[in-house]
């Protein structure tokens, strides 16, 4: 897959976050129109609404279906907003494109299924609409290859206006978040596709209204290119995801309080600080290499005296004493454990090479 270029929407000023907002589900014409009006008044340019809803269990509200597309068309015609909806099957794609939907997104349950993403990619190509914008939510399980695989299936079908949405990952049990953010996964996606548009979905990560503001700020601080936020004219009455939807007015308030950081420029001061980091990293490498040299000496001693390489008592002492010192220095315990364990593993590996005569 080549470089995925950033998405450009003429209605959104460059450098400003792409904000997509609207209800979890289209429910009634009135609810769609009222919500859309409130959002348009708040300056939102892209309206979202689920027409077909993938629900965890049967028996819930599974989306209003085709009728809702007429309401989305009305939103587009009366407010000028672009319209976005979720597609999971070939039929959804055909109907959404026929209704003039501007942005399709692939939901988290669908992006986890290669058959379904391939079907969607093929359907878009068959409709002759490879120019359409498609956003791919992360799969519900924390598997970056599956996420990239879904993007690749679309790309290979000729659909190059692509972006990704980070909506968190499923876990077992009760947690602060509805879906754990596991930020290192979208960060890795950013490293693989530096210019691709990556949007954060604080509504589905948090699952609660009060988490939308802090998660949105965190996303901006981390350099996400936009937000997709669920908004409903009467959130408590929503037919799906009521606890995470906010009114257009609250959304407007949150967006106005967000600090938007500059992702592009590097100032002189930052360059100097980065040079310091480069020097410190070199020192770290030198210290690690000296430590490994001592470790190999210990390996030679153990070999001569027919001692075992791994001595658990010593290992526990090391961890315990270093964690105490690290704590006083304000270094996180989990982080320090990972580092100490990795250093110890590498020492053991090098000592075993010596004991087994693979290195002298
Ligand atoms: C949604 O956006 O309403 C939705 C169903 O999201 P997800 O696929 O992230 O669960
Ligand atoms: Mn939802």
pTM for this predicted structure: 0.83
Residues with CB under 5 Å of ion ligand 2 are 24, 241
Supply the residue whose CA is at minimum distance from atom 6 of ligand 1: 107
Beta bridge partners of 244: none
CA distances from 78 to 66, 72, 296 (A): 19, 10, 74
Whether residues 309 and 349 share a domain: the answer is yes
- Give the pLDDT band (50/70/90) at residue 357: confident
Do 308 and 250 have their domain in common?
no
In angstroms, the Cα distances linking 93 to 53, 167, 223, 252 are 14, 22, 31, 31
Return the closest-CA partner of residue 232 out of 3, 7, 36: 36
What length does the chain have?
360
The rounded Å distance from CA 4 to ligand 1 centre is 23
Q: Last residue of some domain: 188, 222, 257?
A: 257
Residue 208 in contact with residue 243, Cβ under 8 Å? yes
User: What mean pLDDT is predicted for residues 17-28?
Assistant: 98
200 and 96 share a domain?
Answer: yes
Query: Among the atoms of ligand 1, which is closest to the Cα of residue 48?
Result: 2
Q: Is the pLDDT of residue 293 over 90?
A: yes
Does ligand 1 have an atom closer than 6 angstroms to the CB of 84? no
For residues 348 and 212, membership in a common domain is answered with no
168 CA closest ligand 1 atom index: 9
Do 67 and 206 sit in the same domain of this protein?
yes
CATH number of the domain to which 191 belongs: 3.20.20.70
Beta-carbon-side half-sphere exposure of residue 20 (alpha carbons within 13 Å):
28
d(CA 144, CA 141): 9
Tokens encoding 256: 């106005």
**Nearest Cα residue to atom 2 of ligand 1:** 24
- Looking at the structure, tell me whether residues 74 and 53 fall in a common domain: yes
Is 233 in the same domain as 326?
no
User: Cα 214–216–220 angle (5° rounding)?
Assistant: 115
Structural domain includes residue 263: no
Cα 165 to ligand 2 centre (Å): 13
DSSP conformational letter for 7: P
- Residue at which a domain ends, from 257, 291, 309: 257
130 lies in the same domain as 183: yes
User: Candidates 107, 229, 238: which one to mutate for ligand 1, based on the most atoms within 8 Å of Cβ?
Assistant: 107
Task: Read off the pLDDT of residues 106-154 as tens digits, 9 standing for 90 and up.
Answer: 999 999 999 999 999 999 999 999 999 999 999 999 999 999 999 999 9
What is the average per-residue pLDDT within 299-312? 89
Total domains present in the chain = 2
Residue 11 domain flag: no
pLDDT, tens only, 188-225: 999 999 999 999 999 999 999 999 999 999 999 999 99
Taking alpha carbons only, the member of 85, 21, 47, 13 closest to residue 255 is: 21
């Amino acid at each position: 897959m080549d470089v995925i270029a950033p998405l450009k929407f003429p209605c959104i000023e460059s450098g400003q976050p792409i904000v997509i907002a609207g209800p979890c589900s289209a429910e009634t014409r009135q609810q769609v129109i009222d919500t859309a009006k409130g959002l348009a008044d708040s300056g939102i340019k892209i309206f979202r609404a689920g027409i077909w809803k993938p629900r965890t269990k049967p028996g819930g509200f599974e989306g209003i279906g085709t009728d809702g597309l007429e309401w989305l068309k009305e939103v587009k015609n009366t407010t000028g907003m672009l319209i976005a909806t979720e597609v999971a099957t070939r039929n959804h794609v055909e109907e959404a494109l026929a209704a003039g939907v501007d942005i399709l997104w692939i939901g988290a349950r669908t992006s986890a299924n290669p058959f379904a993403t391939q079907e969607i990619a093929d359907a878009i190509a068959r409709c002759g609409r490879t120019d359409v914008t498609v956003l791919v939510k992360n799969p519900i399980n924390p598997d970056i290859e599956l996420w990239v695989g879904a993007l690749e299936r679309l790309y290979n079908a000729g659909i190059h206006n692509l972006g990704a949405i980070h909506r968190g990952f499923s876990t077992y049990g009760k947690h602060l978040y509805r879906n754990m953010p596991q930020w290192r996964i979208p960060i890795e996606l950013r490293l693989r596709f530096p210019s691709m548009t990556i949007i954060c979905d604080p509504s589905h990560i948090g699952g609660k209204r009060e988490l939308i503001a802090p998660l949105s700020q965190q996303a901006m601080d981390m350099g996400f290119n936009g937000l997709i936020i669920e908004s409903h004219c009467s959130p408590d009455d929503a037919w799906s995801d009521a606890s995470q939807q906010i009114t257009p007015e609250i959304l407007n308030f949150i967006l106005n309080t967000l600090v938007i950081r500059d992702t592009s420029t590097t100032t002189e001061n930052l360059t100097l600080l980065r040079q310091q980091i480069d020097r410190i990293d070199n020192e770290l490498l030198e210290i690690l290499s000296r430590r490994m040299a001592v470790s190999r000496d210990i390996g030679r001693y153990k070999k001569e005296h027919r001692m075992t390489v791994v001595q658990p008592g010593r290992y526990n002492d090391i961890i315990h004493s270093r964690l105490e010192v690290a704590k006083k220095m304000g270094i996180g315990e989990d982080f320090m454990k990972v580092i100490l364990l990795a250093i110890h593993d590498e020492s053991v590996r090098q000592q075993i090479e010596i004991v087994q005569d693979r290195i002298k």
